[in-house]
Amino acid sequence: MSNEHIIIQGSNVSHAAESAGHHDDHGHDHHEQHFIWKYIFCQDHKVIGKQFLITGIIWAMIGALMSVFFRLQLGFPDSTFPIMEKVLGEWAKGGKLSPEFYYALVTMHGTILVFFVLTAGLSGTFANILIPLQIGARDMASPFMNMLSYWFFFLASILMFVSLFVETGPASGGWTTYPPLSALKEASLGSGVGMDLWLLSMATFVVSSLLGGLNYISTVLNMRTKGMTMTRLPLTIWALFFTAVLGVLSFPVLFSGFVLLIFDRNFGTSFYLSEIFIGGKALPHIGGSAILYQHLFWFLGHPEVYIIMLPGMGMASEVLSNHSRKPIFGYFAMIISLVGITLLAFLVWAHHMFVTGMSPFLGSIFVLLTLLIAVPSAVKVFNWITTIWRGNIRFNPPMLFALGFVSLFISGGLTGIFLGNSALDIHLHDTYFVVAHFHIVMGVSAFFGMFAGIYHWFPKMYGRFLNNTLAYIHFFITFIGAYLIFWPMHYEGIAGMPRRYYDYSAWESFKHFQGVNAFISIVATVVFFAQLLFVFNFFMSIFRGRKVTEKNPWGSPTLEWTTEINPGHGNWVGEIPTVYRWAYDYKDDGHGNDFIPQTRPLAPGEEEH
Amino acid sequence: MSVFIIITLIILVFIIIYQIGKASEHSAVLRGGEKVKAQTNNIMAVLLLVVFALGMWGIWFCHSIFVDRMLPVAACRTGVNYDNMFYYTIVVTGIVFFATQAVLFWFCYKYRASENRPSFFFAHSNKLELIWTTIPAIAMAILVAIGLRNWYDVTAPAPADATIVEVVGKQFNWIVRYPGKDNELGKRDFRSINDATNILGMDWTDPHNMDDIISQSGELHVVVNKPVKLLICSRDVIHDVGLPHFRMKMDAVPGITTTLCFTPTITTDSMKLITKNPDFVYEIACDQLCGKGHYAMRGTVVVQSQADYDKWLASQQSYYAMNHSAPADAKPAATTEAPKADTVKAVTKN
């Protein structure tokens, strides 16, 4: 199925096909686009992907800096840090965070990392860059919607950024923003204007995510090049496809939850509010349920975890296979496990609510479904390990990060077995055990998937390599640091130490963890600087990195490496290549290469995978 | 100014590292790219193995530090079951953890790139997939079975002879109400709340309210070896009654009453001996972010013998009597109101 004519039908992209056509006839002499159309309001999926990535990197630095600040408070509650006052001003008077702003930082750290970095920055980047390139399409199904998707994200970013500067501070009710705390201005400073901006920003973010997601789904389903059947797709595309499906089906529910919260906050409704006495007076609200919000929130909130994980899984599969010079083991099992995870992701949300007083019977159903997810996850892990078995492993930076991804995914996944079991969750819920669990599995592990992707596809994005020495330093500090930070937190959690506390020194049961908290804070600061090193490497290498000199530097069979080193809008000069085989044919091609590109027809007598 | 100096310094250091990295890459190309590449590859493989070994040592070291700092023995029957189940789960996940991590890092080292050994084309095996689908499924089934048995045990309805106590959360402390002599909690309505004389909004037309007691110290007193049923509510936002020593937790949600039932088996005094800590207290930690004083929303549980409990209860005046014998004087209520504020460093002043 060729998508050439599909593209021409869309008025917005006709120039893409045209410019590709021009290449055929006149080489490179088509007129240069203006800077604004080429780099800002650009409809080229590769540029949009880079926009998502760079915005994500900026947010990641802001979010990580916030965590350094609140970790300093947590690790050293009796010290003052004048530098914090310089950066945060009033909120850290005398170099010490105020409790309100501590909570605001925790909330913003979560919101930014979960949504702006690991959703938009991760699947926004790689779905955009990889889907058209790996399926053999000139662009997305709707490049214009794709552009809008970025600009709605940009608007959401602006709103969130502005909320950091309002007088009462940004939202401070945790990234989950449970009402009534988030619904009532009397309940906390952060529930004022900051919360309104947070909700507006997140609503805009949902729009961005839906525009992107619908586009990714229709592109994967309709615009594959000739011969690219679904079962010849690289696993990255499968993973990004299911990520988009998850987002499209669950973000609207979150949106409805936010709309009701906006109504409760501003228009006197009582969806989430009932029988509340606060700020010296009884409120008129009766009959709402605060738990309703949690159901709506977690109906997205849990799939969101997989929205964050799946792209990393897909990219790790691709990278592990490529740099071991071996096909991914169990291609179909990998797809089936992705399907399993996607389906189950919608059926487990209430395991975040075991201690809300829900019916024990309902709880038991969610225990069963939650622990079921361990099965497809285990299948994936075993397949990854078998993929590197008897491989020919090249420890390039993307490979190291992919291996780190697997290691962290195992560690973080196993602790999920504790939390998914309600009988164990009843003690561990909302303690540092949870913090350790989700930071390892959907924080650091997802980041490792993202780093693997960035190091692997940076040559495709910018035609240059990232600096390897910096990459190796980055890897080892981050990998070791992540375990040093989060491993001890499990112990704090088992001892019942609650999360989201500003200071533990008044607690007989938890105050002896002070030394560990200080240790964690120091390591977190070191790891933060290692990330800055990566960011520096990233921006420096865009301009100064070693140039890519061959089309296919990693020796990969997939389509994106058949384009020019710096592909223009339209991706391929001339015809889009036809695909004849699956994406993992790492075998002797008879000419001394250890892989066969997807574009080479099957040899006589050769069986397809 | 100093911020700028620091930023400049960091960037300078980065540039130096970057240039060193770049120079080493260039020199690698000069010295024969492939050979250096193979060398680097071997170094990375060894480094990963070293990281793994150090990690294993680190896990052991970390454990030896923490093993003495964990919670003391569970102070109720379900808590003991909890600890057993936790142990089983640790064993199951621990085996998987060590096995998979060891194999992962060993393969990394063993199958590092080598010119003499091409990779082995091995794309799928239904037998293997079947094995590692079935085994985790069975392991999960066992954990679910143990889990659900304990879950239904913990959430079972309270026995009829359970002492009923109401625990109400508010920003930022707990209010504990006992039913008094008639053994029945009176009605209350959030619209009747006032912070001076009626912190729970008790309905004074309901006779059951007349003997109800609100713990003056804010402490929750319970009798050892006697089941207690907590009725948990909130006055404002969502809080959570976290009882780490009893391995229990339940949200306090405005407009909804949740329950928690347990039978404490160790008195506070015995626990002081067990932990060798004369300051030991059972603490109630708020486990749901509830505002700026969340971290200071600390309650305490006193587990005592029936005799001590009766003595304590006799010393408590009913809330009605406290607030109506001397209507002009609202002070006693005020002290009940914020009993815990002093334990916290300069936080909760509004």
pLDDT of residue B291: 92
Question: What does the pLDDT average to over A16-23?
Answer: 43
Q: Report the C-alpha gap between B81 and A59 in whole angstroms.
A: 45
Question: What does the pLDDT average to over A121-125?
Answer: 94
User: A584 vs B123: CB contact, 8 Å cut-off?
Assistant: yes
Among all residues of chain B, which has the CA nearest to that of A479?
Answer: B51
* Closest Cβ–Cβ partner in A188, A189, A275 for B254: A275
CA distance A319 to chain B (A): 14
- B14 in a structural domain: no
Q: Examine the domain organization and report whether B226 and B254 are in the same domain.
A: yes
Q: Which residues contact A595 (CB under 8 A, 6 or more apart)?
A: A325, A555, A556, A557, A585, A586, A587, A589
The lowest-confidence range among A27-36, A87-96, A298-307, A551-560 is: A27-36
Q: Find the CATH number of the domain harbouring B320.
A: 2.60.40.420
Q: Give the Å distances, CA to CA, from A78 to A88, A94, A488, A499, B151.
A: 18, 12, 22, 19, 41
Q: Report the C-alpha gap between B290 and B238 in whole angstroms.
A: 6
CB A530 within 8 A of CB A59: no
Among all residues of chain B, which has the CA nearest to that of A354?
Answer: B250
Q: Examine the domain organization and report whether B294 and B170 are in the same domain.
A: yes
Q: Examine the domain organization and report whether B332 and B270 are in the same domain.
A: yes
The lowest-confidence range among A37-41, A179-183, A525-529, B200-204 is: A37-41
Q: Examine the domain organization and report whether B147 and B199 are in the same domain.
A: no
Q: Report the C-alpha gap between A316 and A373 in whole angstroms.
A: 19
Q: Which residues pair with B258 in a beta bridge?
A: B232
Q: Give ∠ CA A498-A501-A502 in degrees, rounded to 5.
A: 160
The lowest-confidence range among A9-13, A38-42, A591-595, B297-301 is: A9-13
User: B237 vs A278: CB contact, 8 Å cut-off?
Assistant: yes
pLDDT of residue B36: 80
Q: Report the C-alpha gap between A416 and A373 in whole angstroms.
A: 10
CA distance B172 to chain A (A): 11
User: A594 vs B191: CB contact, 8 Å cut-off?
Assistant: no
Q: Report the C-alpha gap between A377 and B293 in whole angstroms.
A: 39
Residues of B in contact with A413 (CB under 8 A): none
- B119 in a structural domain: no
User: A468 vs B25: CB contact, 8 Å cut-off?
Assistant: yes
- A91 in a structural domain: yes
Q: What is the pTM of this model?
A: 0.92
pLDDT of residue A588: 86
Percentage of residues in chain A with pLDDT exceeding 90? 83
- B20 in a structural domain: no
CA distance B235 to chain A (A): 6
pLDDT of residue B345: 43
Among all residues of chain A, which has the CA nearest to that of B67?
Answer: A491
Q: Which residues contact A306 (CB under 8 A, 6 or more apart)?
A: A242, A243, A246, A341, A342, A345
* Closest Cβ–Cβ partner in B119, B255, B344 for A289: B255
User: A418 vs B248: CB contact, 8 Å cut-off?
Assistant: no
Q: What is the DSSP letter of A547?
A: B
Q: Examine the domain organization and report whether B148 and B219 are in the same domain.
A: no
pLDDT of residue A143: 94
| φ/ψ (deg, to 5) at B283 | -110, 145
Q: Examine the domain organization and report whether B51 and B174 are in the same domain.
A: no
Residues of chain B with pLDDT under 50: 327-350
- Around A64, how many Cα atoms within 13 Å sit in the side-chain half-sphere? 22
| Nearest partner of A534 among A407, A437, A400, judged by Cα | A400
* Closest Cβ–Cβ partner in B41, B144, B149 for A371: B144
Segment A473-503, tens digit of pLDDT: 999 999 999 999 999 999 999 999 999 999 9
Q: Report the C-alpha gap between A472 and A462 in whole angstroms.
A: 20
| Nearest partner of A203 among A229, A177, A241, judged by Cα | A177
Among all residues of chain B, which has the CA nearest to that of A484?
Answer: B58
Helical residues (DSSP H) of A431-467, grouped into ranges: 432-438, 445-462
Segment A284-295, tens digit of pLDDT: 999 999 999 999
User: A424 vs B255: CB contact, 8 Å cut-off?
Assistant: no
Segment A347-358, tens digit of pLDDT: 999 999 999 999
Q: Report the C-alpha gap between A583 and A599 in whole angstroms.
A: 10
The pLDDT of residue A19 is above 90: no
pLDDT of residue B27: 78
Residues of A in contact with B112 (CB under 8 A): 393, 395
Residues of A in contact with B85 (CB under 8 A): 421, 423-424
Helix (H) or strand (E) holding B302: strand B298-304
- A 302-321 → B contacts, CB under 8 A: none
- A578 in a structural domain: no
Q: Report the C-alpha gap between B255 and A567 in whole angstroms.
A: 60
Q: Report the C-alpha gap between A474 and A479 in whole angstroms.
A: 8
Segment A209-219, tens digit of pLDDT: 999 999 999 99
Q: Judging by beta carbons within 10 Å of its beta carbon (0-12, 13-18, 19+), is residue A33 exposed, middle or buried?
A: middle
Among all residues of chain A, which has the CA nearest to that of B246?
Answer: A427
User: B132 vs A189: CB contact, 8 Å cut-off?
Assistant: no
CA distance A309 to chain B (A): 19
CB A216 within 8 A of CB A244: yes
Q: Considering its fold, how many domains does chain B have in total?
A: 2
- B48 in a structural domain: yes
User: B255 vs A501: CB contact, 8 Å cut-off?
Assistant: no
pLDDT of residue A56: 97
User: B121 vs A496: CB contact, 8 Å cut-off?
Assistant: no
Q: Report the C-alpha gap between A235 and A365 in whole angstroms.
A: 31
pLDDT of residue B1: 66
- Residue A53, domain extent: 4-562
Q: Find the CATH number of the domain harbouring A466.
A: 1.20.210.10
CB A405 within 8 A of CB A312: yes
Residues of B in contact with A374 (CB under 8 A): 136, 140
- B67 in a structural domain: yes
Top-confidence residue, A379 or A608:
A379
Q: Examine the domain organization and report whether B78 and B171 are in the same domain.
A: no
With tokens 């077995």, the residue in question is A417
Q: Examine the domain organization and report whether B191 and B311 are in the same domain.
A: yes
Residue A426 in tokens: 């009843």
- A580 in a structural domain: no
Q: Report the C-alpha gap between A168 and A187 in whole angstroms.
A: 12
Q: Considering its fold, how many domains does chain A have in total?
A: 1
pLDDT band at A25 (very low <50, low <70, confident <90, very high): very low
CB A441 within 8 A of CB A113: no
User: B25 vs A467: CB contact, 8 Å cut-off?
Assistant: yes
Q: Examine the domain organization and report whether B107 and B249 are in the same domain.
A: no
Buried b (16+ CB within 10 A) or exposed e, A56-78: bbbbbbbbbebbbbbbbbbbbbe
User: A426 vs B10: CB contact, 8 Å cut-off?
Assistant: no
Is A187 touching B (CB cutoff 8 A)? yes
User: A289 vs B250: CB contact, 8 Å cut-off?
Assistant: no
Residues of A in contact with B198 (CB under 8 A): none
The lowest-confidence range among A235-244, A341-350, A599-608, B99-108 is: A599-608
Three-class SS state of B116 = coil
Question: What does the pLDDT average to over A297-301?
Answer: 94
Segment A430-470, tens digit of pLDDT: 999 999 999 999 999 999 999 999 999 999 999 999 999 99
Residues of B in contact with A184 (CB under 8 A): 236-237
Q: Is A95 left (phi over 0), alpha (psi -120 to 50) or beta?
A: left
Q: Which residues pair with B168 in a beta bridge?
A: B175, B233
- A 337-356 → B contacts, CB under 8 A: 355-356
pLDDT of residue B326: 54
The pLDDT of residue A110 is above 60: yes
Residues of A in contact with B345 (CB under 8 A): 503, 505-506
User: B58 vs A379: CB contact, 8 Å cut-off?
Assistant: no
CA distance A476 to chain B (A): 9
Q: How many CB pairs under 8 A join A and B?
A: 385
Residues of A in contact with B295 (CB under 8 A): 99, 500-504
- B350 in a structural domain: no
Average pLDDT, chain A: 91
- B9 in a structural domain: no
Q: Report the C-alpha gap between B339 and B336 in whole angstroms.
A: 6
pLDDT band at A385 (very low <50, low <70, confident <90, very high): very high
pLDDT of residue A31: 59
User: A426 vs B248: CB contact, 8 Å cut-off?
Assistant: yes
- Give me the helix-helix angle, B2-30 and B33-66, nearest 10°: 130
* Closest Cβ–Cβ partner in B10, B97, B190 for A282: B190
CB A389 within 8 A of CB B119: no
Residues of A in contact with B253 (CB under 8 A): 290-291, 356-357
User: A507 vs B171: CB contact, 8 Å cut-off?
Assistant: no
User: Which of A100, A178, A277, A589 is the mutation pick for testing B, counting most B CBs within 10 A?
Assistant: A277
Residue A335 in tokens: 């797809």
Q: Report the C-alpha gap between A498 and A510 in whole angstroms.
A: 9
pLDDT of residue A40: 81
- A 535-554 → B contacts, CB under 8 A: 536-537, 540, 544, 546
The pLDDT of residue A29 is above 70: no
Q: Examine the domain organization and report whether B183 and B148 are in the same domain.
A: no
Count of Cβ atoms closer than 10 Å to residue B179 Cβ? 19
Residue A375 in tokens: 């099965």
Segment A510-561, tens digit of pLDDT: 999 999 999 999 999 999 999 999 999 999 999 988 899 999 999 999 999 9
CA distance B95 to chain A (A): 11
pLDDT band at A118 (very low <50, low <70, confident <90, very high): very high
Dmax (CA) for chain A in angstroms is 84
Q: Which residues contact A592 (CB under 8 A, 6 or more apart)?
A: none
pLDDT of residue A22: 42
Q: Examine the domain organization and report whether B240 and B92 are in the same domain.
A: no
pLDDT band at A30 (very low <50, low <70, confident <90, very high): low
Q: Examine the domain organization and report whether B69 and B198 are in the same domain.
A: no
Residues of B in contact with A504 (CB under 8 A): 295
- Residue B309, domain extent: 163-343
Q: Which residues contact A20 (CB under 8 A, 6 or more apart)?
A: A138, A570, A571, A572, A573, A574
pLDDT of residue A32: 67
Three-class SS state of A233 = coil
Helical residues (DSSP H) of A325-396, grouped into ranges: 331-345, 360-372, 374-388
Reported in sequence order, the residue ranges of A15-131 that DSSP labels E, i.e. its strands, are none
- B4 in a structural domain: no
